[in-house]
Amino acid sequence: MAKPIYFYGTHAVQSLLEHRPTDALSLFIQQGKESDNSIAEILALAQSFGVSIQYAGKDKLANMCNSPQHQGVVLHARPLNFATEATLDTVIAQDNCLLLVLDQITDAHNFGACIRSAVAMNVDAIICPRKNTAPLTATVAKVAVGAAESIPVIAVGNLARTLNQLKDAGVFVYGTALDDTAKPLHECDFTIKTAIVMGSEGEGMRRLTTDTCDQLVYIPMGGDVQSLNVSVATGMALYEASRQRFV
């Protein structure tokens, strides 16, 4: 069993308590903050599940979670596990599923931001390779503001093979890339069963991943900017998919 870690931030802690309270071990509240509305809700949740509650100073909480951005609350809990490949069969059986595929996103802040955008834009699941992907750390949970608890993040052993599995199930796979064959994002049809693949922070998608996609797409940009941070690009791509689906 994975070693417990310290989660922090009001949204991340509250979401963990709501979705998997049995993994919560001890809640630490900053002294004098217990009457704050958001923390009072967390306290009530923790008490209802019998979680141990302790009070500590601001600096001690920062030392626990290695961050001053704890917002007055730290939760010692078991880490979130990646969903297994078996989960994928259930997801792709859904009508008109929308999937986000992250190819080697190793930065925790980018990973967390992508998860947050995915939940906001009604993505059904996130798929990533088991290797060369950021672990589901407390930093990922904080940046995702609790969203990591409410969406399956599926780790797979072979991403290209999984993409072929998606295609066999009727999912159209779009890959984001600056390529002569790529279509502008707004000219693509995201109203069908769709997977959108985003590449790594530095190199983009791997060659085998690129070759497996049904269609490459790009985000039209003006000025001298030729590329965007992967989490920003993910949010823009998912927004277009969501816009088409709910227009």
At residue 13 the predicted structure's pLDDT band, cuts being 50, 70 and 90, is: very high
Q: How far apart are CA 159 and CA 222, in angstroms?
A: 32
From 47, 77, 107, the end of a domain falls on: 77
Domain extent at residue 180 = 86-246
Q: What is the pLDDT of residues 125-141, one digit of tens each?
A: 999 999 999 999 999 99
Same domain, 123 and 72: no
Same domain, 22 and 119: no
Q: What is the pLDDT of residues 54-73, one digit of tens each?
A: 999 999 999 999 999 999 99
What integer pLDDT is reported at residue 1 of this predicted model? 57
Residue 176 identity (one-letter amino acid): T
The CATH number covering residue 70 comes to 3.30.1330.30
Burial of residue 56 (number of CB atoms within 10 Å: 0-12, 13-18, 19+): middle
Token pair, residue 148, equals 């990591």
Token pair, residue 146, equals 């609790």
Q: Region 4-17: what's the mean pLDDT?
A: 97
- Secondary structure class of 30 (helix, strand, coil): strand
- Secondary structure class of 82 (helix, strand, coil): coil
Same domain, 71 and 189: no
Q: If you average pLDDT over every residue of the chain, what do you get?
A: 94
| Stated pTM of the model | 0.93
Q: What is the pLDDT of residues 21-47, one digit of tens each?
A: 999 999 999 999 988 999 999 999 999
Total domains, the chain:
2
What integer pLDDT is reported at residue 231 of this predicted model? 95
Q: What is the pLDDT of residues 84-119, one digit of tens each?
A: 999 999 999 998 999 999 999 999 999 999 999 999
Q: Percent of the chain, pLDDT > 90?
A: 86
What integer pLDDT is reported at residue 221 of this predicted model? 84
Same domain, 47 and 140: no
From 77, 106, 127, the end of a domain falls on: 77
In this predicted structure, which of 13-17, 199-203, 230-234 has the lowest mean pLDDT?
Answer: 199-203
